[in-house]
């Protein structure tokens, strides 16, 4: 079966490619502005780094906010950013706790000139630990920190008091330092300690606390999501035109210009523009027309057929790093249709992963069976194999689950708790992503062959996450972004993350919970490997989701820039580090 012969969206895709390719030939390769204009498929919902979700926000706010440590874009190794060095760890005698000690760079300061200290780190952590702030997806990652101790003689030195945690250092890359004088002008959180906010016995009290509610209401408001965006990073928000673009400007006299430690402290560009173009085919045309000068996730056909031509290669740097992200189909496990494992197994056999890779990605991708990136082979269970595409096997499992077409209308049905239910599926994904829409269409064609009716809905991105979190779906297609660091499975796979994390499908396996809790306390990597491998097998056997594929990024950057290098971290390049090419400066 070749689904792409019968899928309307792909037919439209071919027409768009042809149309815009012809259009590009007339005015291709025009001169582009000498500052980065970065394509965004969708605009961010928020630029508040504590509350924001999604890569469209992350790639922007990383220019405005800073962390103690992060990954080097070239080597993927941990390097200090706000911190002078990576932390030191010391066991605390007589307890199972450890100290994680940092010192902030001497020059690090806020825009008003005041130094960044341990108090600012404490405030930024309190923001996450306040129960009412809208960042439940982050809270589990910081449970291990129980207190903070700031040096009385040097406020730039401090120690986190922590439970042993496998990713204690790496998680610091997601603690974005925020100025209390901006985000808490009434100084409300000064009355609350990290120790108190970390105490489970005080959770109910804090949830009912009117002062914390007041702080969270202000912090969660649109004012601090779109309008007041202030960090210690090199850029500030210049403008935000809804649905059009976000413009960042380099700050004058930014503190980091005194440092030359690494690329996070290197800013060669005065302006960075994030241009929103919702159609990837039109975005490619815009790249060749100079309206954008950096483009990631290029349509695979265009990248294979057009981006490899001598003319294109002369005009653009191109790269294909393996992306730290993946696509998957999630089940609504609360839906009675999916209670039987054989139903989920049947659906897993209706996803033609390899054809999706060959057709949609033109081979630029790999099948996956886990949330663990395929490059991290030692964490994976070698006994787990991908579900094969097999409609006959799917029909067999559906029959074993009790489905039949009792009324001969072409749609399977069964009796469940005394009521007749049909195997009619509402499948959702966001409208802007043609790859995910093609996954839906491919599945729909295969499912209808075995008696499953599939209705596809494609809301715009702004409406898509609320539909997922509100369980307004039977199946959804989504992508998740991981990192070059090791993954903590708690946020997505622990039952405690069903309501306040990213466990959108409602997965609940006590054995998986137990393994996750144990492995998070294990600080030696080699001892964690069997835990990952066991979780890999359990999740595969339970089928709460269908892991589909990870893709090779397909990136182009106009040769007006030098110092361009690629990697799998979104967006795939480091725009602030671009320099103007010698060829351009010699004109």
For the chain, 587 residues long, give each residue's pLDDT as a single digit of tens: 343 333 333 343 333 333 334 444 444 455 788 999 999 999 998 999 999 887 889 999 999 999 999 988 888 889 999 999 999 999 999 999 999 999 999 999 999 999 999 999 999 999 999 999 999 888 988 999 999 999 999 999 999 999 999 999 999 999 999 999 999 999 999 999 999 999 999 999 999 999 999 999 999 999 999 999 999 999 999 999 999 999 999 999 999 987 877 889 989 999 999 999 999 899 999 999 999 999 998 999 999 999 999 999 999 999 999 888 899 999 999 999 999 999 999 999 999 999 999 999 999 999 999 999 888 899 999 999 999 999 999 999 999 999 999 999 999 999 999 999 999 999 999 998 889 999 999 999 999 999 999 999 999 988 999 999 999 999 999 998 777 778 889 989 999 999 877 899 999 999 999 999 999 988 888 999 999 999 999 999 999 999 999 999 999 999 999 999 998 888 889 999 999 987 665 54
CB 271 within 8 A of CB 250: yes
Is residue 249 domain-shared with residue 115, that is, in the same domain?
no
Among candidate residues 431, 463, 487, the one where a domain is terminated: 487
Is residue 452 domain-shared with residue 421, that is, in the same domain?
yes
Is residue 276 domain-shared with residue 171, that is, in the same domain?
no
Range of the domain at 475: 332-350+397-487
Is residue 209 domain-shared with residue 76, that is, in the same domain?
yes
> H/E element holding 436?
helix 434-449
Closest CA to 454 of 479, 478, 428, 431: 428
Tell me what pLDDT residue 13 has.
Answer: 37
Q: Return d(Cα 262, Cα 70) in angstroms, integer.
A: 11
Tell me what pLDDT residue 30 has.
Answer: 59
Among candidate residues 487, 522, 540, the one where a domain is terminated: 487
Is residue 131 domain-shared with residue 190, that is, in the same domain?
yes
Burial annotation 216-233 (CB, 10 A radius, 16+ → b, else e) = beebbeeebbbeebbbbb
Q: Is residue 124 part of a domain?
A: yes
Is residue 72 domain-shared with residue 180, that is, in the same domain?
yes
Strand partners, 414: 421
Q: Which residues, in sequence order, are CB contacts of 534 under 8 Å at separation 6+?
A: 381, 515
Which is it for the CA torsion 135, 136, 138, 139, positive or negative? positive
Burial annotation 524-553 (CB, 10 A radius, 16+ → b, else e) = eeeebbebbbebbbebbebbbbbbbbbbbb
Q: Is residue 542 part of a domain?
A: no
CB 504 within 8 A of CB 334: no
Is residue 72 domain-shared with residue 187, that is, in the same domain?
yes
> H/E element holding 210?
helix 210-219
Q: How many CB atoms lie within 10 A of CB 586?
A: 6
DSSP string, 347-371: HHTT--HHHHHHHTSTT-EEE-SSS
Which is it for the CA torsion 115, 119, 125, 131, positive or negative? negative
Is residue 119 domain-shared with residue 197, that is, in the same domain?
yes
Tell me what pLDDT residue 484 has.
Answer: 73
CATH number at residue 77: 3.90.76.10
Is residue 271 domain-shared with residue 420, that is, in the same domain?
no
Q: Is residue 224 part of a domain?
A: no
Closest CA to 296 of 271, 324, 338: 324
From residue 346, alpha-carbon distances to 235, 412, 413 in Å are 50, 13, 15
CATH number at residue 244: 3.40.190.10
Among candidate residues 181, 215, 249, the one where a domain is terminated: 215
Number of domains in the chain: 3
Parallel, antiparallel or unpaired: strands 419-422 and 413-416: antiparallel
Is residue 69 domain-shared with residue 129, that is, in the same domain?
yes
Tell me what pLDDT residue 8 has.
Answer: 37
Q: Is residue 47 part of a domain?
A: no
Q: Which residues, in sequence order, are CB contacts of 453 under 8 Å at separation 6+?
A: 410, 411, 422, 423, 424, 425, 447
Tell me what pLDDT residue 585 has.
Answer: 54
Tell me what pLDDT residue 29 has.
Answer: 53
Q: Is residue 262 part of a domain?
A: yes
Interior angle at CA 188, CA 186 and CA 189, nearest 5: 135
Tell me what pLDDT residue 584 has.
Answer: 63
Q: How many CB atoms lie within 10 A of CB 456?
A: 17
Q: Is residue 106 part of a domain?
A: yes
Is residue 68 domain-shared with residue 211, that is, in the same domain?
yes
Q: Return d(Cα 205, Cα 381) in angstroms, integer.
A: 43
- Name the 3-class secondary structure at 421: strand
CB 576 within 8 A of CB 272: yes
Q: Is residue 171 part of a domain?
A: yes
Q: What is the pTM of this model?
A: 0.78
Q: Which residues, in sequence order, are CB contacts of 348 under 8 Å at separation 6+?
A: 387, 543, 546
Tell me what pLDDT residue 272 has.
Answer: 98
Is residue 338 domain-shared with residue 451, that is, in the same domain?
yes
């Amino acid at each position: 079966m070749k689904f792409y012969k019968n899928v309307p969206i792909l037919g439209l895709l071919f027409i768009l490619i042809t149309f815009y390719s012809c259009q590009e030939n007339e005015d291709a390769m025009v001169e582009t502005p000498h500052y980065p204009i970065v394509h965004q498929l969708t605009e961010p919902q928020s630029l508040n780094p504590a509350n924001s979700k999604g890569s469209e926000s992350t790639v922007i706010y990383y220019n405005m906010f800073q962390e103690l440590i992060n990954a080097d874009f070239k080597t993927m190794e941990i390097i200090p950013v706000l911190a002078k060095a990576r932390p030191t760890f010391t066991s605390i005698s007589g307890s199972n706790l450890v100290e994680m000690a940092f010192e902030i760079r001497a020059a690090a300061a806020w825009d008003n000139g005041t130094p960044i200290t341990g108090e600012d780190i404490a405030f930024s952590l309190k923001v996450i630990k306040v129960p009412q702030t809208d960042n439940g997806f982050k809270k589990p990652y910081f449970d291990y920190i129980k207190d903070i101790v700031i040096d009385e003689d040097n406020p730039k030195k401090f120690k986190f008091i922590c439970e042993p945690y496998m990713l204690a250092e790496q998680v610091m890359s997601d603690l974005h330092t925020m100025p209390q004088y901006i985000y808490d002008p009434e100084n409300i959180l000064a009355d609350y300690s990290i120790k108190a906010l970390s105490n489970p016995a005080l959770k109910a009290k804090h949830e009912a606390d009117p002062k914390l509610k007041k702080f969270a209401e202000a912090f969660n408001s649109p004012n601090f999501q779109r309008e007041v965006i202030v960090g210690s990073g090199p850029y500030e928000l210049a403008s935000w035109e809804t649905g059009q673009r976000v413009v960042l400007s380099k700050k004058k006299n930014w503190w980091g210009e005194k440092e030359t430690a690494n690329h996070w402290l290197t800013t060669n560009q005065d302006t960075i523009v994030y241009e929103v173009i919702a159609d990837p085919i039109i975005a490619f045309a815009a790249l060749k027309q100079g309206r954008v000068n950096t483009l990631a996730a290029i349509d695979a056909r265009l990248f294979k057929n057009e981006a490899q031509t001598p003319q294109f290669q002369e005009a653009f740097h191109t790269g294909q790093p393996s992306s730290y992200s993946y696509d998957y189909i999630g089940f609504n496990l609360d839906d009675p249709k999916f209670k039987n494992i054989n139903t989920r197994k049947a659906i897993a056999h209706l996803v033609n992963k390899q054809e999706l890779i060959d057709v949609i990605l033109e081979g630029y991708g790999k099948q996956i069976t886990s949330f663990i990136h395929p490059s991290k082979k030692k964490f994976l269970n070698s006994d787990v194999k991908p579900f094969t595409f097999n409609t006959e096997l799917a029909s067999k499992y559906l029959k074993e689950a009790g489905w039949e077409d009792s009324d001969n209308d072409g749609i399977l049905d069964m009796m469940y708790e005394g009521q007749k239910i049909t195997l009619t599926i509402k499948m959702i994904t966001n409208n802007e992503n043609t790859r995910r829409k093609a996954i839906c269409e491919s599945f729909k064609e295969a499912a209808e062959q075995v008696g499953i009716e599939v209705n596809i809905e494609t809301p715009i991105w702004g409406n898509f996450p609320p539909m997922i979190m509100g369980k307004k779906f039977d199946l959804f297609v989504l992508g998740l972004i991981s990192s070059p660091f090791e993954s903590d499975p708690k946020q997505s796979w622990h039952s405690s993350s069903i309501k306040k994390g990213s466990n959108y499908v409602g997965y609940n396996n006590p054995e998986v919970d137990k393994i996750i809790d144990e492995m998070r306390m294990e600080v030696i990597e080699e001892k964690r490997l069997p835990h990952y491998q066991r979780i890999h097998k359990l999740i595969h056997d339970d089928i709460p989701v269908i892991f589909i594929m990870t893709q090779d990024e397909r990136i182009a950057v106009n040769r007006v820039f030098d110092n361009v290098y690629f990697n799998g971290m979104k967006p795939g390049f480091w725009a602030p580090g671009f320099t103007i090419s010698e060829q351009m400066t010699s004109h």
